[in-house]
Amino acid sequence: MSRVKRLSWILLACALAVIACDRDKDSTAQNTTVSASAPAIRPLNFPADDGPLPSADGDRAMQYVKEIVKFGPRPLGSASHKKVEEYISSHLKGDQVEDDIFTADTPEGKFPVHNIIAKYPGTKDGIIIIASHYDTNYPLRNTSFVGANDGASSSGLLLELANHLRGKQREGYSVWLVWDDAEEAMKPDGSGGQPNEMPFSADSLYGITHLAEKWQADGTLKKVKAFILTDMIGDADLNVERETNSTPWLEDVVFEAATRLGYQSHFFARRLEVSDDHLPFLKRGVPSADLIDFTYGYNVAYWHTTEDTVDKLSPRSLQIVGGVVLETLRILDKMDPLPPK
Ligand SMILES: [Zn+2]
């Protein structure tokens, strides 16, 4: 993940302030008459909870994560980046795969960027995207930073999800898994005292922005019903934020899925605004949710540091998020029609 970043504690403080504000708002609301012009909020109608509930294999997902990390730092343009591209593709043999390859013009020069998309067809008209970036932070390229949580955890989880999706036509929407590239900003994010002279939005999210633009141009985007991003979801102390840019109804579906699986205590206790790979789809009208646990280590100590290593992760966290994503898909398949964008 590239950003919440230098503002992490300010934002966390803000998040706490938001929680406090919400509480204040609630207490005020008890004494206030609701305005007749207030828009009606229709509760979501969830389909029946008719099991069996899905489960992801956390140990197998963790094995993938470890194998990705073993290649070492994988910044844009590096040999290990290329090896990770090949590693991901090698696990998708026999699947319908689209390679989206282009050259990104960045403040550090031109780099090849490679998005990998695996497509699992369904019976319903429409596509749900599950995404994860796999590159590591470029400014940390000369350190031992391997992004075990930041990039590898979610990329390994997507490989595990592929195991659940392949080999049968889905009774529901088509699901596309996207391993996107060049998510991280190329210039330092300021944590090292060197503020990026470019706006964050112009120096990050290169891969996913390219995909969103391409799919908008060729009409694919109209078919995308939801975009679910996974990022930094391997932390052994798993607390997925309610990310405030995300589409509220889609987050409600995620929470319903978590509740059905008994994992709700790991979701949405905090609110936090994060600039992440979901923004290019969100901006283009696609309902989008960022499943991210940004509070990684005390005082976010492990994020974008050489401390982001596999010993901080847990197969259980991968199992939880994997199960919740699979159950979210199952609920979305049966919600007809989906809420408006
Ligand atoms: Zn990052």
> Which stretches of the chain score pLDDT less than 50?
5-39, 191-193
What's the gap in Å between 150 CA and the centre of ligand 1? 5
Position 14 scores a pLDDT of: 37
Question: How far, in Å, is the centroid of ligand 1 from the Cα of 34?
Answer: 42
The Å distance, Cα 187 to ligand 1 centre, comes to: 12
Instruction: Provide the 10 A C-beta neighbour count for residue 325.
Output: 26
Distance 15 CA to ligand 1 centre (A): 20
Helix (H, G, I), strand (E, B) or coil at 231: strand
Ligand 1 centre from 42 Cα, in Å?
Answer: 36
Cα dist. 236→46, 148, 150, 307 in Å?
30, 12, 13, 14
- How far does the centroid of ligand 1 lie from the alpha carbon of residue 149, in Å? 9
Ligand 1 center from residue 303 Cα (angstroms): 7
**If you measure from the C-alpha of residue 207 to the centroid of ligand 1, how many angstroms do you get, rounded to a whole number?**
14
Please tell me the distance between residue 223's alpha carbon and the centre of ligand 1 in angstroms: 29
In the reported structure, the alpha carbon of residue 190 is separated from the centroid of ligand 1 by a whole-number distance in angstroms of: 13
Task: Give residue 157 CA to ligand 1 midpoint distance, Å.
Answer: 17
Ligand 1 centre and the CA of 304: distance in Å? 6
Cα 1 to ligand 1 centroid, rounded to whole Å = 3
pLDDT of residue 262: 97
Encoded tokens for 1 = 């993940």
**Centre of ligand 1 from the C-alpha of residue 203, in Å:** 13
Rounded to the nearest angstrom, the distance between the alpha carbon of 152 and the centre of ligand 1 is 10
Give the CA distances from residue 175 to residues 155, 168, 169, 288, 329, in Å, rounded to whole numbers and listed in that order: 16, 12, 10, 14, 8
CA 184 / ligand 1 centre spacing (Å)? 6
258 Cα: distance to centroid of ligand 1 (angstroms): 25
pLDDT digits over 104-128, tens only? 999 999 999 999 999 999 999 999 9
Q: pLDDT tens across 90-109, in order? A: 999 999 999 999 999 999 99
Residue 188 has what pLDDT? 81
Q: Are 200 and 275 in contact (CB under 8 A)?
A: yes
Does the predicted model carry a pTM greater than 0.75? yes
48: DSSP letter: P
